[in-house]
Structure 1
Amino acid sequence: MIQSDKLNIDEKTLLETIDRISLQLDQFEYKMQSNLQVLILVGDTGSGKSTIFNFLCGAKFKYVITDDEEYLDLADKSDQYSEMNSGMKSVTKEPKYFYNETFNHLLIDFPGFHDTSGEISQLIIQMIFYKFITKSNVKIAYVLFHPQTNFISRGIALQQFIKTVFKEKNLEISKLALILNHYNENMKEEKLIINVQKQLKEVETVKHEWISVIRRINSPEKLNEIFSEENREKLWFELITVNEISFQPQFLPYSDRISTYITEKSDLILSLICQQMDYNLSLKNKEMNDEQFILLQSLIGSIQHILSTTPEQTEDWFNKFINVSLELSQTFHFENDIHEKSQNFLKIFNFFSFFSEFINGYSTFEKHCIQVQQKCTYFLESLQKKIELQRVNEEKLREKQSRIKAEQQFNTESQIRIQKEQMYAQEYENRIRYEQQLKMEQQLRTVLEQDKKGMEQQYKDYCEKSLQIQNNLQNLIQTEKVQKQQVELDLKRQLQDLQNKLNEMEQRRKEWLEHRANHPPHHGPHGPGHHGPPGHHGWFKK
């Protein structure tokens, strides 16, 4: 495992800072595509630089009075403004941007130099500044805390900035704009500027032209007077007249920690790669199959090709080497935690490579790469010989196995040939038996066909007789039906005749009874009511 704490650097924090700063640089390069001019505000922590940036951005201020202190603050908070702090701790950790459309200037509030945020933070701040002023011509305005007529401590902060950024006077310092902030004396602005120019001449050899003055604000009335719209526009006009600077850095301060990190981390990563490949591949090469052998030889060839070349970009060489080692570990399933750690290293390595000439660790890294070439070349050559020897032994073993396999195959083929001959004989007998069976089936089929024809004729005759019987039966049924209907009709007619006679007899009986009622009987010689012999009454008929 790679232990970053042994490298005496907070790698995680450094990576997070690089991510943030990379976004800032991308944002700066994007804005530079609009062909605008760049004005950078720089200055020591506590110089009032962020307050001046907010003033130039158009911010409104308020004067705050408490029991403990009086201070200036933003009237309206906004993300576009820089945070303000009256103390000596830097609040601005990353550049802030403001685009002035009227003057086509991009104003940048830059983090404070020489604050207490640590060497790495100062190194990052210095690198961002260098990248800004080397990617394009820029204007620089230095904000100096200047409450008195003379420079505090003989302007040590300004001198330190000049020595840090413009080593060996590779640039005329007079091209900087100087903003004297917090001036609190009664001397007029013109005289103060002349006085400051005289003091600067002790450091410079030419007259400093661009000097602006911002008075101290110690009351609400002073706030409205000094931070007026007129003074805002006046300060803008003074700053945009500053000459642009074409700059190339001569050294990078606070670079020892990064140099140590690159030296130690690169040596650690490269050594571990060699150790892991040597140990794991020496164990694995006896367990590999043919496919893995071919792949391993291909990967070894890739590594040897990488090691034998000297690319223009050392980080490209390193990245290829890391990728091949990762492919080896994935192919042959051994532990490899180098890839992620090396990616972190490469991210830091590439970020600082812009100023590699000022960081000794980059030249040391190249030496480590050469040492790795030597170590890995010896190991890979030895491994290649082992693989070739093992391949020869395996080839002999395969030939022996092939010979045994051929003999076994010959015996197997002989047995198969005998089995085939037996099978052919059996098939011949089966064929004869089949033909006999087929002949018998044909004879049986002929007999069945004849029986079928006789049965079909019988069935046909039976069907004809059955049809004739059905017809006769239907005729008989029809005849009987007709006769039955006739008999029913005769019976109905006879029944009707009888009914008619009964009705007629009933009618006559009624008439007789009615007649008798109307003509009582006379007593004759035969007694009362006797009119002669029965059956001779006039109402009865035979």
Structure 2
Amino acid sequence: MMQQDKINIDEKTLLETIDRISAQLDFFESKMKQNMNVLILVGNTGSGKSTIFNFLQGAKFKYVVTEEEEYLDLAEESQMFSEMNSGMKSVTKEPKYYYHEDYNHLLIDFPGFHDTNGEIDQLIIQMIFYKFITKSNVKIAYVITHPQNDFLERGQALQSFINTVFKEKNLEISKLALILNSYSQNYKDEKLIYSVQKQLKELQEGKHEWISIIRRVQSQESLDQIFSEKNREKLWLELITVNEIKFQPQILPFSDKISTYITEKSNLILKQICQQMDFNLTLKQKDLNDEQFILLQSLINSIQHILSSIPEHVEDWFNKFINVSLELSKTFHFENDINENSQNFLKIFNFFSFFSEFIYGYSAFEKHCDQVQQKCSYFLENLQKKIELQRAYEERNREQQNRIKAELQFTNESQIRIQKEQLYNQEYENRIKYESQLKMEQELRTILEQDKKGMEKQYQEYCEKSLEIQSNLEKLIQNEKNEKFQVEQDLKKQLQELQGRLNEMEERRKQWVDFKGKVKNEFKAGLHHWFKK
């Protein structure tokens, strides 16, 4: 796991800071889509900036007198107004907005740049301001406390604002609208403006044209006069004539902790990615199938391409490197916390990259990237060689296995062919036996047919003989009748003998028929028994 305790910043606070800034930017950009003019009120704490913002909105004031102090306060409270404070403590921590529909101007009350609300709040104020002035051309009205004819400390607050916020010679003081607040001397406005222009010219070349004056309120009567409807319209008309300016920031104050965070955490994340890629890919390379191997080679080529390229912005390189590393981990199910540790960092890193030239941590980050390029390139080259050797070894093993498999298949096919030949021979022998048995049966059938014909012929001959005998008997009987009377006694005796002989012959015939039927049945039974065998 990444050692969070080594990073000298609260990551949660930075993320909350980004969310606060993003919310302001989303609102600002939504207004910019409506083609509004932007007028930003800036100034140090206690300059009366929030009072002027409320006044331009149409607020009513009251003059409060206590035993300890006298101060202005809102006559009626409203969420649209900026909170006012009589002391030097800042009240406004985030911009307040008011849109003047008639003049099509978005008025923004910006928090003080030198408030004592802490570094994070100051960083938020500074970054929101930078984002606003770099996203569109804006008008800036700087509110400065000016109770006397001369600038206090030669306008040090105004010079500090110019030098802190803008690049050298990028902005002339004359391009800003100045609102001189709490003026209490007797100079007329025209004379005071001339005096201020002269003082400003000593600070910077150029005539300052946009100067407005707010007199000091010392009573309820002066309050009603100074913050009248007439003066409100007058001040609006003066401010809307200010020219829009495109600015370029110079420095980003209170950015040391961001630099420390980006430097240390980027180093940890990059080292972690290299170590985990080295460990996991070396561990996984032996267990990859063909599809995973092709995918791994593609991802390695992507990483090598990123490492070998020199992008215009190093943050783009880092984003691509992180994303490909995450894809690699997700694809091959590496057990790591790259995603957990990098997502918040990427959000912070990308958000502040807009100001990378003001945060030295981005320069240190480039050095880390160079080191990672060298380490990862060396590791990936070695890994590529290992993978190629492993794949070559696996290819040789695959070829050997295929050869063994082919030989085994050939052996199996030979055995199958031999078995088929044996089966064919067996079938041939069985067919020969069957034909032989069929032939024997045919011969037996022929013999039986011949025996049958012989027996039938014998029977026919016997029948013919019987008929012939019967015919002879009938002739004899006829003759005997003619001689009946002569030889009756002899004929009866002969007839009896002949009748007995005829019965005997009939018996023999029956016995012969029975014997022939019995022989026939026994022959059929024997033939059936033989076929059954």
Q: CA deviation at 1:76?
A: 4.0
2:368 corresponds to which residue? 368
Using the size of structure 2 for normalisation, the TM-score is: 0.72
- Which secondary structure does the structure 1 equivalent of 2:317 belong to? helix
CA distance in 2, matches of 1:5, 1:63: 53
SS at match of 1:169: coil
Q: Which residue of 1 aligns with 2:531?
A: none
Letter in 1 for 2:100: N
How much has 1:101 moved relative to structure 2?
A: 1.9
Aligned equivalents of 1:79, 1:336: Cα separation in 2: 48
Query: Cα RMSD (Å) of the superposition?
Result: 3.2
Contact 2:21–2:127 under 8 Å retained in 1: no
* Distance change (3 Å), C-alpha of 1:323 and 1:244: closer
Shift of 1:233: 0.9
What do residues 217-267 of structure 1 show as CA deviations (whole Å, max 9, x unaligned)?
354444433222112111111212223323333444444443343333322
The AA in structure 1 aligned to 2:55 is: F
Distance 1:401 1:205 in 2: 89
What is the 5 A alignment of 1:38-437?
Answer: 38-64=38-64, 70-185=70-185, 187-413=187-413
Q: Quick one: which amino acid aligns to residue 10 of structure 1? A: D
Q: Per the alignment, do residues 138 and 390 of structure 1 end up closer, same or farther by CA in structure 2, a change over 3 Å counting? A: same
How far apart are 1:181 and its partner, in Å?
A: 1.9
Match of 1:495 in 2: none
Deviation track 1:57-86 (CA, whole Å, cap 9, x = no partner) reads 122334455676554333444443323333
Give the Cα–Cα distance (whole angstroms) in 2 for the partners of residues 108 and 152 of structure 1: 26
1:38 partner SS: strand
CA shift, 1:135, in A, is: 3.2
Cα distance change of structure 1 residues 204 and 324 upon mapping to structure 2, 3 Å threshold: closer
Deviation at 1:139, TM superposition (A): 1.8
Identify if the C-alpha distance between structure 1 residues 423 and 223 changes in structure 2 by more than 3 Å, giving closer, same or farther.
Answer: farther
Deviation at 1:376, TM superposition (A): 0.8
Contact 1:41 1:109 in 2 (8 A): yes
Q: Which residue of 2 aligns with 1:464?
A: none
Relative to the length of structure 1, the TM-score reads 0.71
SS in 2 for 1:86: coil
Letter matched to residue 212 of structure 2: S
Aligned pair in 2 of structure 1 residues 269, 242: CA closer, same or farther (>3 Å)? same
1:13 maps to what in 2? 13
Once the two structures are TM-superposed, the CA of residue 132 in structure 1 deviates from its matched residue by: 2.6
Count of matched residue positions in the alignment of Structure 1 and Structure 2: 432
Residues 225, 421 of structure 1: alpha-carbon distance in 2 compared, 3 angstrom cutoff: farther
Distance, in Å, in 2 between the alignment partners of 1:67 and 1:416 is 119
CA distance in 2: counterparts of 1:383 and 1:97, whole angstroms: 58
Asked if structure 1 preserves the Cα contact closer than 8 Å seen for 2:119 and 2:254, the reply is yes
Alpha-carbon distance between aligned partners in 1 of 2:78 and 2:344, rounded to the nearest angstrom: 35
Structure 2 counterpart of 1:537: none
**What CA deviation, in whole Å up to 9, does each residue of 1:426-466 have, x standing for no partner?**
99989x9xxx9xxxxxxxxxxxxxxxxxxxxxxxxxxxxxx
SS of match in other structure, 2:9: coil
Equivalent residue, structure 1, for 2:442: none
* Partner Cα distance (1:319, 1:429) in 2: 82
- Can you list the C-alpha shifts for 1:32-68, whole angstroms capped at 9, x where unaligned? 3444322110001222212211111122334455676
**1:341-388 Cα deviation digits (max 9, x unpaired):** 333333333333333333333343333323222111110111111112
8 Å contact kept, 1:53–1:109: yes
Looking at structure 2, the residues matched to 428 and 291 of structure 1 have their Cα atoms a distance apart, in angstroms, of 56
Question: What is the CA distance between 1:281 and its match in structure 2?
Answer: 1.5
Give the equivalent residue in structure 2 for 1:502.
none
2:144 is paired with a residue whose SS is strand
Higher alpha-carbon deviation: 346-355 or 297-306:
346-355
Q: CA deviation at 1:272?
A: 1.4
- 1:181-238 Cα distance to aligned partner (Å, 9 max, x none): 2334455444444444444344233443322222333544444332221121111112
* Cα 1:187/1:362, change in 2 over 3 Å: same
Question: In structure 2, the residue corresponding to 1:285 is in which secondary structure?
Answer: helix
Give me the whole-angstrom Cα distance separating, in 1, the residues matched to 2:96 and 2:429: 102
Question: 1:494-509 to 2 correspondence within 5 Å?
Answer: none
Q: Which moved more, 1:199-208 or 1:303-312?
A: 199-208
8 Å CA contact 1:326–1:336 kept in 2: the answer is no
- C-alpha distance in 1 between matches for 2:385 and 2:142: 66
Secondary structure of 1:247's counterpart equals coil
- Asked if 1:29 is matched to 2:34, the reply is no
Return the alpha-carbon distance in structure 1 between the equivalents of residues 149 and 269 of structure 2: 57
In the alignment, is the contact (CA less than 8 A) between 1:174 and 1:206 conserved in 2?
A: yes
Q: Secondary structure of 1:286's partner?
A: helix
* Matches of 1:9 and 1:115, distance apart in 2: 21
Alignment partners' CA distance in 2, 1:59 and 1:426: 118
Structure 1's 53 and 403: CA in aligned 2 closer, same or farther, altered over 3 A? Answer: same
SS at match of 1:47: coil
Relative to structure 1, the CA distance from residue 5 to residue 226 in structure 2 (aligned partners, 3 Å threshold; closer, same or farther) is: farther
TM-superposed deviation, 1:162: 2.1
Match of 2:491 in 1: none
Distance 1:409 1:121 in 2: 79
CA shift for structure 1 position 418: 6.4
**Aligned equivalents of 1:47, 1:190: Cα separation in 2:** 22
Asked whether the 8 Å contact 2:17–2:120 carries over to 1, the reply is no
Unaligned regions of 5+ residues in structure 2, if any? 439-533
- Provide closer, same or farther for how the CA distance between residues 77 and 340 of structure 1 changes in structure 2, counting only shifts above 3 A: farther
Q: Distance in 2 between matches of 1:379 and 1:360?
A: 29
In structure 2, the partner of 1:477 is none
State whether residues 167 and 248 of structure 2, in contact with CA within 8 Å, keep that contact through their aligned partners in structure 1: no
